[in-house]
Structure 1
Amino acid sequence: MTTVAVIGCTHAGTFATTSILQHHPDWQVHVFERNATLSFLSCGIALWAGGHVSDPKKMFYSSPEQLEQLGASMHMRTDVTYVDVNAKQLEYKDLETGDTQALQFDKLVVTTGSRPVIPPIEGVNGKRVLLCKTWDDAVRIKETASQGKSVVVIGAGYIGAELAEQFSTINIHTTLVDGADRVLSNNFDKLITDQVEAKYRQHGVKLALGQKITKFTETEDSVTVVTEKGEYTADYAIMAVGFRPNTDLVRDQIDTLPNGAIVTDEYMRASNPDVFAAGDSAAVFYNPTGREDYIPLATNAVRQGLLVGANIETPTRKYMGTQATSAVQLYDLSLAASGLTQGGAAVRGVDTVSTELVEDYRPAFMLSTAPVTSILTWDPKTREVKGGQFCSTVDISGAANVTSMAIQSKFTIDDLANVDFLFQPNFDQPIYFVGAVAMKACAM
């Protein structure tokens, strides 16, 4: 009988385990998870803090019991302490009893996820400095939202941006700190982030941008975040500055990116073909650049996890890569994007140009309409679509999915400009804004 060891069970681990047992119900699958829960949707933490979650138990879509019913041997609250990839052996410790054991495996699935980036800053491990990743973190943040009167959120990416928004809507004095000079600088270009920053200011959020933190100082009832340019005191601070792959167990035994993300082939196999990786522990193939990249998103984790089961015995189904398609709602603004921004292209050394368009999403004769900001990023030589960003007070999330398919299919701006998009006054203009911005690009 084939024995599989799955280390880590959030999104990638949950879907990998499910997929393996669906394809091979007679295999012995051992799942190791440090926490007491699995499948936690951490994207809901900010919404829970702001009072927009009906039941926090619904932030979990699976459980140890469900995986056991499929046939998995679950080792919850268990830490894998050692892995020998070539010898196909691991050692693990029960965090409740302290007991240690070893397991011989035939296949190894590394779905250890990521851990928060914690910069080596004085005071960063203080009691009033919280993280935003796990269920335990979520509980502490929810308590902060119900008891605190002020907070400093550190990091203006998606997670920090959502936390700052939600805290400000429940009358908690909020300061948002980031070393970059714009909010969401890795996700959107300036034409859109300017609109987001205006919303923050309208809701009383203090923006402390372009500021690096030098230390934290705590008292009995407050924490002060000290930056190069100022000091910000609040009841709590929340670190949300990003994630790094949690792959120390195997990092020196298989090929990784410099940051530790495991490099896999298109069948999710690592450099050792009996080792598979998925989710935040793994690199992704980023279609806009045609290169390996590190993009920790639940969508990537789910798709990669499912492929582990399909390919764990025989290479069968290829990974199609990712465009890092994502969206966020901040106040009344809907923001969605796929692929490269102009800033992201510059960081990666990719030559692109961007075309911007602001126009109402439906005809002027309608009783109401609203402007949509569209930014299309494309290769000036091949004319291939490389990215799209959209922002409006109406739901424009579908535009990011359209752009994602265009990038994956290697559409040019000419192709995108001639797609058969619907027209109906309730929904859009005679020329859908995605097609319209592509037409503007073609005219350049």
Structure 2
Amino acid sequence: MSISGESTARERLVVVGGDAAGMSAASRARRLKGPDELEIIAFERGHFSSYSACGIPYWVGGDVTDRDALIARSPEEHRERGIDLRMRTEVTDLDVRGGRVRARDLGTGAESWTPYDKLVIATGARPVRPPLPGIDAPGVHGVQTLDDGLALLDTLGRTPGGRAVVIGAGYIGVEMAEALINRGYGVTVLNRGPEPMSTLDPDMGRLVHVAMEGLGITMVNGAEVTKILTGGDGRVRAVATQDEEYAADVVVLGIGVRPETSLAEAAGLPLGEHGGLLTDLAMRVRGHDNVWAGGDCVEVLDLVSGRERHIPLGTHANKHGQVIGSNVGGDYATFPGVVGTAVSKVCDLEIARTGLREKDAHRAGLRFESVTVEATGRAGYYPGADPMTVKMLAERRTGRLLGVQIVGREDAAKRVDIAAVALTACMTVERMTALDLGYAPPFSPVWDPILVAARKAVSAVRSGG
């Protein structure tokens, strides 16, 4: 409480995590409140801040030649804007009751407590690293941070044109397969599932499988990795499955990520079934008025199924940060949820999805119809009219759009944005057929592939009841 004529003491915001969500929150809060009103201290255990982790495969593959091109804002730039960003400093304990965090300087080992009035948790996600024999051998790499990318490039520089094994065939797995092909490596991808890209239905994943093999990538499905084999020098030499051994000069883990919420869990903060922090629409941690969380460490509401999901994407993290910073800074904003849109590519093959897969719809208890069409991205007579496959799910009886998956070549993936908008607007497939989309032969046929799929879905809904 202030005495008349005296200014109120400034508040302190502490941010744990110096990448997308954390620094977006800090920057937004700083724009709303100056240093005299709000002190901002941020902790980051790595060497870099505010960078694009999504760009790492393209840096490794050589499409992006300058590492610094992936850095949106350096620690020095944040400090110039009045944010006390402390690099190579790891938060080791959250004392939510006492309103303080303990941090360790990774250079000196010194530890200290820092009190806060408001706390932002943006600890991101950690790569899945199964407890296999040899998993920590030199030459085995995760790809989550710029430091990881540097380490991988060092290994690639010492084994040019060698043999690479990628374990996992999700987004990171297929993107890293492309990066390694671009580096001149022979690439084998080992996948536990029936087809690559488990974010797609298996029939669409099969299209990705065929295309990857056409690019010279050896794709092995149903492969359960049992151990990493090493040579006399201790470095990786092969990956063993239950059936075979695959020679490797480098191994890349593309198994996926989990929310990094060990600190939050130890502090007693609420976690969801996927291990992510639970927040309200303002990104405030449930049950804690002065604690917010965002980015890959949280679960978000799926607007289609109505369930909480963990979807680690930079687009969400930056939006979370903006919402958090607005609320911390005295404004008001909300993050209503997502429809699960994601795009990727492997060489010239484009892959996209939004909304629910068939198994998601079954899990949500929805009755639905599923249709698949093949169409071209341009007028059939126009040069470069490559085919694409579109799969669409619609709810029975109502015709509500539930999900779309696309696999194709040039100009295929971004068509998923049409479906993402339709999902957000809760449109039916019948209403989608009337969408006024842009048309000219170089860009689309008269009936865009999305609309062709919608028309087929309308017929399926009507005949299926």
TM-score band, normalised by the shorter chain?
over 0.9
Shift of 1:222: 3.6
Query: Are the counterparts in 1 of residues 320 and 335 from structure 2 also a CA contact under 8 Å?
Result: yes
User: Aligned to 1:393, which of 393, 398, 409?
Assistant: 409
After TM superposition, the structure 1 = structure 2 runs for residues 184-199 of structure 1, keeping only pairs within 5 Å, are: 184-186=197-199, 188-199=200-211
Q: Which residue of structure 1 lines up, in the alignment, with residue 262 of structure 2?
A: 248
| Separation of aligned partners in 2, 1:423 and 1:258 | 44
- Structure 1, unpaired ranges of 5+: none
Q: Which residue of structure 2 lines up, in the alignment, with residue 204 of structure 1?
A: 216
Q: Which residue of structure 2 lines up, in the alignment, with residue 265 of structure 1?
A: 280
Structure-2 change in CA distance of 1:129 and 1:155 (3 Å) = same
Shift of 1:225: 1.3
Percent identical pairs in the alignment equals 28
| Separation of aligned partners in 2, 1:369 and 1:126 | 47
Letter of the 2:271 counterpart:
T
Shift of 1:313: 5.3
Q: Which residue of structure 1 lines up, in the alignment, with residue 21 of structure 2?
A: 12
Q: For residues 261-302 of structure 1, what are the alpha-carbon distances to aligned partners after superposition, in whole Å with 9 as ceiling and x for unaligned?
A: 110000101121211000011111111211111111111101
Q: Which residue of structure 2 lines up, in the alignment, with residue 101 of structure 1?
A: 112
After TM superposition, the structure 1 = structure 2 runs for residues 44-443 of structure 1, keeping only pairs within 5 Å, are: 44-148=55-159, 149-186=162-199, 188-219=200-231, 220=233, 221-251=235-265, 252-271=267-286, 272-312=288-328, 316-346=332-362, 350-443=366-459
Structure-2 change in CA distance of 1:123 and 1:352 (3 Å) = farther
Partner SS for 2:296: helix
- Structure 2, unpaired ranges of 5+: 1-9, 461-465
Letter of the 1:118 counterpart:
R
| Separation of aligned partners in 1, 2:156 and 2:398 | 50
Partner SS for 1:224: strand
| Separation of aligned partners in 1, 2:392 and 2:204 | 12
Structure-2 change in CA distance of 1:269 and 1:161 (3 Å) = same
Shift of 1:349: 5.0
| Separation of aligned partners in 1, 2:30 and 2:208 | 44
Letter of the 1:258 counterpart:
E
Letter of the 1:260 counterpart:
G
Q: For residues 300-329 of structure 1, what are the alpha-carbon distances to aligned partners after superposition, in whole Å with 9 as ceiling and x for unaligned?
A: 101111100111255722212112211112
| Greater Cα shift, 200-209 or 424-433 | 200-209
Shift of 1:190: 3.4
Q: Which residue of structure 1 lines up, in the alignment, with residue 3 of structure 2?
A: none
| Separation of aligned partners in 2, 1:79 and 1:38 | 13
What TM-score do the two structures reach when normalised by structure 2? 0.91
Q: For residues 19-70 of structure 1, what are the alpha-carbon distances to aligned partners after superposition, in whole Å with 9 as ceiling and x for unaligned?
A: 1111222311110000121122122222122211131110111111121122
What TM-score do the two structures reach when normalised by structure 1? 0.95
Shift of 1:350: 4.3
Letter of the 1:154 counterpart:
I
Q: For residues 213-253 of structure 1, what are the alpha-carbon distances to aligned partners after superposition, in whole Å with 9 as ceiling and x for unaligned?
A: 11112112543211122111211211111111111112142
Query: Are the counterparts in 2 of residues 267 and 318 from structure 1 also a CA contact under 8 Å?
Result: yes
| Separation of aligned partners in 2, 1:163 and 1:344 | 27
CA-based RMSD of the aligned residues comes to 1.7
Query: Are the counterparts in 2 of residues 297 and 324 from structure 1 also a CA contact under 8 Å?
Result: no
| Separation of aligned partners in 2, 1:397 and 1:24 | 40
Q: For residues 401-433 of structure 1, what are the alpha-carbon distances to aligned partners after superposition, in whole Å with 9 as ceiling and x for unaligned?
A: 111111111111111111111221121111222
Query: Are the counterparts in 2 of residues 342 and 353 from structure 1 also a CA contact under 8 Å?
Result: no
Letter of the 1:11 counterpart:
A
Structure-2 change in CA distance of 1:90 and 1:367 (3 Å) = closer
| Separation of aligned partners in 1, 2:380 and 2:166 | 40
Partner SS for 2:26: helix
| Separation of aligned partners in 1, 2:445 and 2:219 | 36
| Greater Cα shift, 152-161 or 122-131 | 122-131
Partner SS for 1:398: helix
| Separation of aligned partners in 1, 2:382 and 2:127 | 47
| Greater Cα shift, 337-346 or 369-378 | 337-346
| Separation of aligned partners in 2, 1:402 and 1:33 | 37
Partner SS for 1:39: coil
Partner SS for 1:279: coil
- How many corresponding residue pairs? 443
Partner SS for 2:126: strand
| Separation of aligned partners in 1, 2:64 and 2:72 | 14
